Structure 1
Amino acid sequence: MSQAAVTPEKPVDTNFDPATVDLKGFDIAVPEYFSQQKHWALFDRMRKEDPVHFAESPEFGPYWSITRYSDIVAVDTNHKQFSSEPAIVLPDPEEDFNVKMFIAMDQPKHDVQRKVVSPAVAPPALADLEDLIRERVGKVLDSLPVGETFNWVDLVSIEITTQMLATLFDFPFEQRRKLTWWSDVTTAGPDGGDTGLNDEERRAELRECLETFAGLWAERANQPPKNDFISLMAHNPAMQGMEPMELLGNLMLLIVGGNDTTRNSMSGGVLALNQFPAEYDKLRNDLSLIPNMVSEIIRWRTPLAYMRRTALEDVELGGKTIKKGDKLAMWYVSGNRDEEAIDRPYEFLIDRPNARKHLAFGFGIHRCMGNRMAELQIRILWEEIMKRFDFVEVVGEPAYTKSVFVHGITDLPVRVHPKK
């Protein structure tokens, strides 16, 4: 996952019309297309004109783009023909810095390692955490500077998710922003992405992450078992003897999984309600819509744009022959705008029927392990927002993550208007 957001070394020409650009061989895996919001129109055309699309990327090599909802589900649930190894992102693993994680493993090892950490986000654990989450969310919202413009991403989305991450890892609470930083480093490319780090600096940061957690592992291994991620791993035989790069990989997976989906949905929901004010009115009049709205927010934002698979044999898909060893990108962000599967997909509808029928969490054995945790945090956030504020108003243009993998928001200027 560490090369997920690779930024091309040379400036990319984005001065083109998505409606007329030649799609033959077109490489959509360019971060600037996403940060400049050109990807929507490009994916619309790809779904209609070439839904199983081949491209040669100068950064990632040859790969197939799977853009329609039905094809994505077909690939995501077919573990016999499509493998998660050696990576779930388009770049191949770095030979001299090859991290391994269970999301990029096939059965049976995937299932064994996933089962070790899943109790931390299982329904009984969520029930125990709900009051704590609500208390923390309330404190964050009560601390916001009323009457001033501020970045919702930083003061709310990152702060809430990072507090929860610290709890899930039982990480030193006062150092919790390190988790956000390591998540950003993980999903940035060798030449910097949004972090400004070069390749060696990025690796140094990830080594610090590994060293920090190795110390916590040693402590937990000599303490009674608890329900945090590190203790669960340290006390389970299935996780013993992991090489450092495998431990680092699983740490990176859990940090990113617990961070990007939730924080970008927390920001995306505010943006969507401002873009669709009638839905904000609908919410004010019926707070019982919040749980359904949470699913619609996650579909609308689709916080991780794609996942990669690798063909284990020759496969026919959408009239194309995908050869054994070929890479495929399942573009969740495209499938969640597919008119053939989702009615009025470009509209944000908080009372959408079957709102949970989205692609953002994936399908099959690799479906997002923490999906219920993400939904819980976003639900509580909006319940607490609606107690305090009549309007969270977006007052400037959002800035988007320069990334192919993380479909994120980096800056969202807002003002909050308390209830009278």
Structure 2
Amino acid sequence: MSPSGQSWATRSSPSSGSTPSQLSRRQSIAMLKLGNRPSAWSIGSLAIASWSSRMVDARRESTTSNFQILDNDLWAERIPHEEFQSMRTHAPVAWIEEPDGNSGFWAVTRLDDLVAVHRDHRTFSSQVGGTELEELERDPEAREARRTMLETDPPEHTRVRKLVSRSFTRRAIGQWESTARALVAESIEKALETRKVDFVEAVARRLPIEMISKLLGVPKRDAEELFHWADSVVYHADPDFSDVLYDKDDTDPYRLLPFRSPNSLKVFEYAKRLAAEKKARPEGDVVSVLAASDDLTPLELQTFFLLLVIAGNETTRHGLSHGALALAEFPDQLRRLQEDPKLLDLASEEVLRWACPQIHFRRTAVSNTDLAGVPISAGDKVVTWYISANYDEGAFTDPFTLDLGRDPNPHVTFGGGGPHFCLGAWLARLEVRVFLEEFAKKIGRVHLDGKPERIRSNFINGLKRLPLELEPSC
């Protein structure tokens, strides 16, 4: 099935040789200043001329000028699958000009190329320029102030990640299954009392918030306000969530804050208070572990906490919402799961592929290289589009059809490997699997009861409202 045959939710209209991991943050910043690149990058005038010529040709040939890939209003209406399909076919590594004065970037749209980028942190760095499109290498103060674990390379990334990695292993997460199941069952049963619900609010939002709160050690009384702040931080282009819109308002006063969001300060202050409480009275949760560590600065703890709150909540919420929407659009797949519960693990992976809550992440090339035959210069931004890779016809048969028995399923929802493979992957898998199991048991049929509303964001593939009518199973 082609993307044009899909539902509204997916249809598109017709002088050092050091590696980045060995460099300090200050050195990494200096590396990308024009005229101040390491001597290792000086490869001779003839070679430079040849490479420059290749670059000009590559950018001229691959520039995609008619697709406003960053337009938040476009993403609020639809996922541009047809445009991505065209890019995968004709320019899988395409140069995209940016309208806001930034330098432009390479858009990576095929699965194999995304995996190659993510598994090569020595060439494609998260630390040098960060993981957002904003060019923080031009503003070293902001880059340092806003750095989270995402914006680091090994060994620094490994240092921070290992502080909490034990809490997110498959075995550790498995101990939370009964808790997750009780939360899902209660939410679905309550939703069935009225039958017509906003599924995001009734079911999808509650589970990940309560689960990550328990793991972090956030008291239940604080959760609603905390995650309201988190929503406003990450959905910083949607007026339903944020009072300051990064693509419409003057956000320079907040340039030192993550996502240029003033509510980041509220999350930071909360993290500071909670960490002080946990240090005085540790309880074995993640924040207690972070508070007890001598390896984190206060700012590192606060940014790490913000990252865990957002990543542990937003992505799973949208995985569940898109999963429920997909089951409404493909009722045969719901029946298939009901008739064959052994499909549950495969079904969970397919829903994760289909939902793909993360739209893109950025890397920065730190040396001249080639990707899929396209020459990329040191200092270029390279943006990997998960939402395209998960629908790559070269990796998936009939990718625009939900297939709960899809096997193999090499989706990249969790990043495609490498040091930044999603820390919370096992938590997300648990939540999606338990959700599907309880949904298939308790829901006979599900129907759309209005038009879903997408979040205005080119970064998170999310639904903010999903009106559904639920019929109980017999």
Query: Residue 359 of structure 1 aligns with which residue?
Result: 412
- After TM superposition, the structure 1 = structure 2 runs for residues 86-235 of structure 1, keeping only pairs within 5 Å, are 86-93=129-136, 95-96=141-142, 98-189=145-236, 194-198=240-244, 199=251, 203-224=261-282, 226=284, 228-235=285-292
Q: Aligned residue for 1:78?
A: 120
Could you tell me which of 265, 277, 286 is aligned with 2:340?
A: 286
CA drift at 1:194: 4.5
Shift of 1:393: 2.4
Q: Alpha carbons of 1:218 and 1:230: their partners in 2 closer, same or farther (altered >3 Å)?
A: same
The C-alpha deviation readout for 1:43-79, integer Å capped at 9, x for no partner, is 0111111111111212454111000111111111111
Asked if residue 338 in structure 1 is aligned to residue 381 in structure 2, the reply is: no
The counterpart of 1:45, out of the listed 69, 72, 86, is: 86
Structure 1 runs (4+) greater than 6 angstroms displaced: none
1:225-245: CA deviation from partner (whole Å, max 9, x where unpaired): 61x221111112222xx142x
| Corresponding residue to 2:316 among 249, 255, 262 | 262
- Tell me which of 394, 397, 408 is aligned to 2:448: 394
Q: Distance in 2 between matches of 1:292 and 1:265?
A: 15
Give secondary structure in 2 for the equivalent of 1:91.
coil
Q: Paired residue for 2:404?
A: 350
Q: Distance in 2 between matches of 1:25 and 1:269?
A: 31
Equivalent position SS for 2:471: strand
List per-residue Cα deviations over 1:364-384 (Å, max 9, x = no partner).
Answer: 110101111101011111222
Shift, 1:394, TM fit: 2.1
The CA deviation string for residues 293-342 of structure 1, in whole angstroms up to 9 with x for no partner, is 11000101111011110001111122322111111110011011111111
CA drift at 1:139 = 1.8
Letter in 2 for 1:205: N
Contact 1:83 1:309 in 2 (8 A): yes
Q: Show CA shifts across 1:273-299 (max 9, x none).
A: 121122122112112212211100010
> Is the partner of 1:237 in helix, strand or coil?
coil
**C-alpha contact (below 8 Å) 2:233/2:261 kept by paired residues:** no
Higher relative contact order (CA 8 A, sep 6+): 1
Answer whether contact 1:158 1:180 (CA < 8 A) is retained: no
Alpha-carbon deviation of 1:412? 0.7
The aligned counterpart of 2:364 is 310
Q: Paired residues, what number?
A: 396
| Structure 1 portions without partners, runs of 5+ | 1-16
Deviation at residue 28 of structure 1 after TM alignment: 0.9
C-alpha distance in structure 2 between counterparts of 1:44 and 1:83, whole Å: 27
Equivalent position to 2:439, from 374, 378, 385: 385
Q: CA deviation at 1:258?
A: 0.5
CA distance change for structure 1 residues 407 and 203 in 2, over 3 Å: closer, same or farther?
closer
1:31 aligns with 2:54: no
- Percent sequence identity is 29
> In structure 1, what residue type is equivalent to 2:358?
L
- 1:361 partner amino acid: F
Q: Residues of 1 paired with 2:402 and 2:338: CA distance?
A: 16
- Paired residue secondary structure (1:403): coil
Assess, with a 3 A threshold, how the Cα gap between structure 1 residues 165 and 179 changes in structure 2: closer, same or farther.
Answer: farther
Q: What is the SS of the residue equivalent to 1:65?
A: strand
Alignment-derived partner of residue 54 in structure 2: none
For residues 173 and 390 of structure 2, the distance between their equivalents in structure 1, rounded to whole angstroms, comes to 27
Looking at structure 2, the residues matched to 64 and 166 of structure 1 have their Cα atoms a distance apart, in angstroms, of 37
Q: TM-score, normalising length from structure 2?
A: 0.79
Which one-letter code corresponds to 2:392 in the other structure?
A: D
Letter in 1 for 2:130: A
Of 325-334 and 36-45, more deviation after overlay is shown by 36-45
| 89, 108, 114: which one aligns with 1:66 | 108
CA RMSD after TM alignment: 2.1
TM-score when normalising by structure 1: 0.89
- Given candidates 295, 312, 318, the residue that maps to 1:238 is 295
Whichever of the two has the greater Rg, that structure is: 2
Cα distance in 1 between the residues matched to 2:367 and 2:142: 28
Stretch of structure 1 that moved more, 70-79 or 129-138: 129-138
Tell me by how many angstroms 1:25 deviates: 7.2
Q: Secondary structure at the match of 2:164?
A: helix
Q: Offset at 1:192?
A: 5.2
1:63-115: CA deviation from partner (whole Å, max 9, x where unpaired): 11000111111111111100012321212347458311112100101001001
Query: What CA distance in whole angstroms lies between the structure 2 residues aligned with 1:261 and 1:96?
Result: 26
Task: Give the AA of the match of 2:411.
Answer: H
Is 106-115 or 54-63 further displaced after alignment? 54-63
* Contact in 2 for aligned 1:68/1:334 (Cα 8 Å): yes
Over residues 128-149 of structure 1, what are the superposed CA-to-partner deviations in whole Å (9 max), with x where a residue is unaligned?
A: 2111111222222222253442
Letter in 2 for 1:334: S
- Give the AA of the match of 1:127: G
Determine if contact 2:195/2:471 at 8 Å carries over to the other structure. Answer: no
Partner Cα distance (1:34, 1:83) in 2: 27
Using the alignment, how far apart are the partners of 2:158 and 2:229 within structure 1?
25
Give the equivalent residue in structure 2 for 1:272: 326
